[in-house]
Chains A and B, each alone.
Chain A
């Protein structure tokens, strides 16, 4: 008998349909074989797909949310992937869904922060639902490295300190080059000359030798 799992948030509803895998001894309300899923948005076209598409949605949306918490906005899901998400140039987030049909153009959905949070919550609910017996692998959230965190600082701001430092060094070096080279002291100390040509017997300390 077909089982439907439904996860609701204010702006979206995720519905997963499937059957229990009786050969694996699953309960009647479990979903061990996924037959289809749909994501309904308020005022937007409904999204449908196979298990691979749902897995792809989870694989890009959850890491995107993880990076967003750290203030890093980067794109996830490059060209061959069926789902892509990244920051929208006009604000919010752009979710791009590529169809497996050859002549179907990709569908782009622009989400605001609230809609993205709703989407993350329904995906989390699905992932942690004990009735779902399918392995829905999503990358485990990991602390970001310093290199990844650099992206949240604008490039100009990041370059300001090293460029400023290099300019300061160049300026100081330039000013240093403009200064005249100090002249050697005139040799007007006959005592020193005498001292250098002094006989083998050294003078006692504290005495001066006159020519």
Chain B
């Protein structure tokens, strides 16, 4: 499991590292939302993981945690201030730790070895839960949110988010996800 002490001073997203782009912020918060859709107690688990990883000074309570997540431009109530590199690094590590914990669930969604009806049912449940959270928190007038909510057209994007979490879990996941969130704007 990734640990806060793993962050080397020379890592690209350390305290003096580059800031996440607008798209990076969107993806990071969407991935956290996917975690919440998979884990009914995901919000609490994130705070607990934050404490475990030693990020209590960055996110002392759920309100502060919530405020950092509201830097996502797709949110219904969005904050204009940017996420500090240390905060984004902490969120990435919390996310990867959660993905590691939820890996069996992620794997079950991605596996083709399961009977198709079971897989379909799992995806249906996941999609319903994610849609509920998105309707609650996201700006539904945004095209990206609309696309992701679409049961048919949004499926590849939802699968991509689940696959991203599966590949971001494990020992090398933090570096992979951090690099991905710092991608150039296409």
Task: Assess whether A127 is in contact with B186, with CB atoms less than 8 Å apart.
Answer: no
- Nearest opposing residue in chain B for A68, CB measure: B167
Binds A, one of B38-46, B55-63, B175-183: B175-183
A26-51 interface mask toward B, CB cutoff 8 Å, 1 = contact, 0 = none? 00000000000000000000000000
Is A74 on the interface with B (CB-CB < 8 A)?
Answer: no
User: What distance in Å separates the Cβ of B102 from its nearest Cβ neighbour in chain A?
Assistant: 12
Most buried by A among B164, B167, B168, B171: B167
Whole-angstrom CA separation of A188 from B107 in the bound complex: 87
Chain A binder among B85-93, B108-116, B140-148:
B108-116
CA distance A124 to B168 in the complex (A): 11
A146 B107 Cβ-Cβ under 8 A: no
B166 touches A113 (CB 8 A): yes
**Chain B 78-111 against A: per-residue CB contact (8 Å), 1 yes, 0 no?**
0000000000000000000000000110111011
**Cα–Cα, bound, A25→B6 (Å):** 26
Number of A-B contacts (CB under 8 A): 94
Q: How far, in whole Å, are A65 and B172 apart by their CA atoms in the complex?
A: 11
A121 touches B169 (CB 8 A): yes
If A62-B172, A124-B170 touch, whether A114 touches B113 (CB-CB below 8 Å) is yes
Interface residues of A, count at CB 8 A: 34
Q: Considering the chains assembled together, what is the distance between the CA atoms of A11 and B166 in angstroms? A: 14
CA distance A69 to B176 in the complex (A): 8
Task: Give Cα distance in the complex from A152 to B186, angstroms.
Answer: 10
- Contact A68–B163 (Cβ < 8 Å): yes
- B177-A113 in contact (CB<8A): no
B186 closest partner in A (C-beta): A149
Contacts of A113 in B (CB 8 A): 110-112, 163, 166
Contacts of A125 in B (CB 8 A): 170-171
Please tell me if the beta carbons of B171 and A66 are within 8 angstroms of each other in the complex: no
Question: Would A66 and B163 count as touching, CB distance under 8 A?
Answer: no
Inter-chain contact B171/A114, CB cutoff 8 Å: no
| A117 close to chain B: CB less than 8 A | yes
In the bound complex, residues from chain B placing their C-beta under 8 Å from that of A79 are: none
**CB neighbors of B among A10-34 (8 A):** 10-11
Give chain B's interface residues, CB within 8 Å of chain A.
Answer: 12, 103-104, 106-108, 110-113, 160, 163-164, 166-173, 175-180, 182-186
Can you identify 5 A-B contacts, CB atoms within 8 angstroms?
Answer: A117-B107, A117-B163, A117-B169, A141-B180, A153-B186
A residues whose Cβ falls under 8 Å from a Cβ of B: 10-11, 62, 65-66, 68-71, 92, 112-118, 120-121, 124-125, 127-128, 140-146, 149-150, 152-153
